[in-house]
Amino acid sequence: MRGRRLAHLAVVWDMYGTRREGTGGVARRQNRRLRDVVAYARTHSSYYRDLYREVPQDFSDVEQLPVVTKADLMDHFDRWVTDPSVTRTRVETFLADPANLGVDFLGRYVACTTSGATGVPAILVHDHRALFVYNVLGYVRALPPALSSTRHIGAVLRPRVRLAAVFVTGGPFLGNTMMARRLRKLPWRSATQRLFSALTPLDELVDALNDFDPAVLGGYPSALDALAGERRAGRLRIHPVVVNAAGETLTPPVRQRISAAFDCHVTNYYGSSEAIGLTYECGAQNLHVNSDWHILEPVDEDNRPVAAGQLSDGVLVTNLANRIQPIIRYQMGDRVAIQPESCPCGSAFPWIRVVGRTDDVLTFAGAQGRGIRILPLAIASVAEETPGVAICQLIQRGPSELHVRLGVRPGSSEPVVWAELHRRLQGFLADHAIMTVRITKSDDAPALHPRSGKFRQVYRDFTDVTQHEREYDSAARRR
């Protein structure tokens, strides 16, 4: 126990030292930790041992390491993890039992899953040392800018302050797991900390939040934006002093609406269940990468680095804290640009602009069965620009099937709007040499995604994988 406390104290002291030493100190720590985690993975993970067979022991740059994908890591789960007592079967059995929510797997790991909204869910395991690093990153770097006034500090630090978050529940997802774990350790916190489901009907969610009356509110930007509308309408009567947005892209207009409705400070966070504590937001409202504990690489569609200031096609993430399940150059689909200029806050950590992808790229069969990819923003724009469309959800239900949930503007004729939308969608796909897609309209209204709990305008909802998709996935893994 004493050794663990000293190790924890060393982590805290090191984070303060990093700030004092500037960019040179950040770079030295990143390089040392990258070498340590690669050496550990090589020694304890047979997957990485084989993957790094051609990588020099004295490699000099992260770009010398191969890229990994979620699909490939999950296919080799038992060889990926560094503790042989952790197997996919054991973790899946553990997570399948609701009674285990918030319980540490094997007494020493936190296990959770991603939503699987864009495919097979990832099963993730974090060791206790990594969890401590994530917590310290939050307290030392993310919390101070959020407490930007004595009003904020007084409200957040007062006894039994209430904290609420609106995220997806009902499964062993990270937020749900961490909240349950916290309440198991200190049950009295159930009176002051509560996770509300993003799948709850809005009127019920408003009533529950009114009863709870939190001083700090967190959630998906889309959920917070909806609650801001309820606050403006007078139905939501809470007065939080800080609102924390995470899980989706927080755009400037949405941030402004939330801040104005609640008359409070709004903070932003970008990260994932694989890379907890990836960023923090400074007082200038810019996102900084905690690059002493994580590496974030903006890349193009071929996983080549993009220049500073250029928006990437994806990102590669490396977690330098977690040893049980090494995440090293892991593909994520968000679009990120590292800003070339210094942040006004003076931080030594790089700052980024993020366009998080909440929608799926669709793949339809073209001529000779060739897979043709359609960007969600492009096809969504066709729907949004159709006269009379108020809200629209496009769901791919098969290789040649597109399902549409439609809401029309007041005074518009739904049959007329649908006929025009159908014509435009057909024309758009034909322009991309996609001629055989069946486009149908659902009787259901647009809704939150059933697994992720987020509103996703364009997504895939089928498990049949066509040959051209297998070929694309195989090529992505080779890259």
Q: Give pLDDT tens digits along the chain (479 positions).
A: 666 677 778 888 888 778 788 899 999 999 999 999 999 999 999 999 999 999 999 999 999 999 999 989 999 999 999 999 999 999 999 999 999 999 999 999 999 988 543 335 689 999 999 999 999 998 888 877 766 656 666 666 666 789 999 887 777 889 889 999 999 999 998 899 999 987 676 778 899 999 999 999 999 887 888 889 889 989 999 999 999 999 878 888 889 999 999 999 899 999 999 999 999 999 999 999 999 999 999 999 899 999 999 999 889 999 999 999 999 999 987 889 999 999 999 999 999 999 765 567 788 887 666 677 776 656 877 887 788 888 889 999 998 999 999 989 889 999 999 999 999 999 988 888 889 999 999 998 888 666 655 567 888 888 654 443 443 333 333 33
Expressed as residue numbers, the domain containing 409 is: 362-471
Cα(206)–Cα(92) distance, integer angstroms: 34
- Residue 370 within any structural domain of the chain: yes
pTM comes to 0.75
* Dihedral of the alpha carbons of 139, 140, 143, 144, in degrees to the nearest 10: 150
CATH number of the domain where residue 156 is located: 3.40.50.980
- Residue 281 within any structural domain of the chain: yes
| Final residue belonging to a domain, choices 218, 237, 269 | 269
| Final residue belonging to a domain, choices 306, 330, 356 | 356
Residues 367 and 325 in one domain: no
Retrieve residue 69's tokens: 């994908």
Residues 232 and 243 in one domain: yes
- Residue 136 within any structural domain of the chain: no
Residues 208 and 328 in one domain: no
Residues 309 and 291 in one domain: yes
Cα(291)–Cα(316) distance, integer angstroms: 13
Cα(180)–Cα(187) distance, integer angstroms: 9
Residues 245 and 293 in one domain: no
Residues 252 and 286 in one domain: no
- Residue 141 within any structural domain of the chain: no
3-state helix, strand, coil in the chain (%, to 5): 40, 20, 40
Question: pLDDT at position 466, please?
Answer: 44
Residues 342 and 368 in one domain: no
Residues 257 and 280 in one domain: no
- Residue 144 within any structural domain of the chain: no
CATH number of the domain where residue 290 is located: 3.40.50.12780
Retrieve residue 11's tokens: 């982590």
Q: Which helix (H) or strand (E) holds 327?
A: none
Residues 79 and 91 in one domain: yes
Domain tally, the chain: 3
- What are the Cα distances from residue 366, in Å, to 425, 429, 470, 475? 15, 10, 15, 19
Question: pLDDT at position 297, please?
Answer: 97
Residues 265 and 277 in one domain: no
CATH number of the domain where residue 397 is located: 3.30.300.30
Residues 190 and 65 in one domain: no
Retrieve residue 461's tokens: 């909802």
- Residue 77 within any structural domain of the chain: yes
- CB contact at 8 A, 198 and 175: no
Residues 368 and 462 in one domain: yes
